[in-house]
Amino acid sequence: MPSEAKQMLKIGELAKESGFPVSTIRHYINEGLLGAPRKKSKNMAYYGRESIPRIGLIKRLQDELYLPLRLIKKILKPSSQSFSVEEMDLIIEVRQRLEEEDFELLPKAPRIPKEKILQSLFITEQELMAMEDMEIVSGEAKNGKTFYNELEYRVIKAYADARSVGFTSELGFGVEDLLIYIQAIKDLVELESRVFIARMQRNPSAEKIADLIRQGLPAVDRVISSLHHKFMMDILEDMEAEAKKL
C-alpha cells in the first residue's frame, strides 16, 4: 500500500476510530456530508483522518441541536447554497454555540442577498444604503445582486430587531445615530489592539496569539454586551428611583 494510503482509513477502521457504526457513516457519505472517498483499488476505498471529527460534529448537530441532515449540509458546505433569513439565523446560532469546541471544523457562514433581508427584516433599502454610505456594511455585488457577509448581516439584523420593538429615529436610534456606537467601539478596538500587539511582540508565537484572540472573540463580545446591558440597567434603575421621589 502506498505511504499516503497508510494514513488513510478503511470504512471499518473509520467506524471503529470514530465510534459510530458503518451504516451511519455510509448514510453520511450518501448524503454528501463526508465527501467522496479516495479509491485505492477496484474494491477498496480509504478516508482521511479528518473525517473522524467531522463525523462527530455531524452527529452532535443531529443529537444535541436536532438539525436535519439537509440543514447540516448547508452549515458544513454553505458556499453554493441559497439561504432564507430564518436559516441564516439558525446557522449563526449553531456556529456561536459550537465554535468554541469545533472552531476549525465550521466553515464561514454564507453570504445572504439584500433582497431576502428586505423581505424579512424590519429595515428599508434606504437604511441599508445609509449603512453602506457610513461604511458600517459594504456588501458584495455579484450577478446584479448585493450580498452581505455574516458579520454585516449580524449588524443589520441587530439594528432591524431594535427598530422592530420601537427604537425609532425619534428615540435616537436611526442609522445616523449608530455613529455613537461606531466611534466608541473603534476607540475600544484600538485600545485592545495596542494591548494585544504589545503582548505579541513579547511572545514568539504571534500566530498562536492571533488564533487565540480569534477564537475568544465570541466570549469577549458577550462580556462587552453584558457590561453594556448592566450599566444601562443601572441608569434606568436610578431614573426610576428619582421618578418615585417626585
Tens digits of pLDDT across the chain (246 residues) = 444 555 789 999 999 999 999 999 999 999 989 877 877 667 788 898 889 999 999 999 999 888 899 888 888 876 555 678 988 888 888 887 776 666 567 777 778 999 999 999 999 999 999 999 999 999 999 889 999 998 999 999 999 999 999 998 888 899 999 999 999 999 999 998 888 777 777 666 777 777 777 778 888 898 999 999 999 999 999 999 999 987
Evaluate whether residue 139 is within a structural domain. no
Question: Looking at the domain assignment, is residue 231 inside a domain?
Answer: yes
DSSP state of 67: -
pTM above 0.75? yes
Question: Is residue 165 in a domain?
Answer: no
Alpha helices by DSSP H, listed for 22-146, are: 22-30, 51-63, 69-76, 85-102, 114-120, 125-133
* Residue 188, domain extent: 175-245
Q: How many structural domains comprise the chain?
A: 1
Task: Determine, yes or no, domain membership for 36.
Answer: no
Are residues 47 and 11 in contact, defined by beta-carbon separation less than 8 angstroms? yes
